[in-house]
Amino acid sequence: MAQDSTTPELSSEKRNTYSPATVPPSVIDTLRQKAYDKAYQTACWHSDRYMREYMSDFERIRT
């Protein structure tokens, strides 16, 4: 691996910019909550879509 292909986390001019040690707990909590909310919304969307398809099939079979 070439030395000049360092990531921003390891570059000397932006030292600790992306280090977890420098991120305040409030930011971590906010990011964690956003990730949870996104996962929850995605799960609800898939659940609603599945139920609509299931009920559509049920109505089709019933009639």
Domain extents for the chain? 27-62
pLDDT at 56: 82
Contact 47, 39 (CB under 8 A): no
**In tens digits, what is the pLDDT along the chain, a chain of 63 residues?**
445 455 555 555 555 555 666 778 888 889 899 999 999 888 888 888 888 888 887 777 776
pLDDT at 41: 87
pLDDT at 35: 92
pLDDT at 1: 47
Compute the distance between CA of residue 24 and CA of residue 30 in angstroms, rounded to an integer.
10
Question: Model-level pTM?
Answer: 0.43
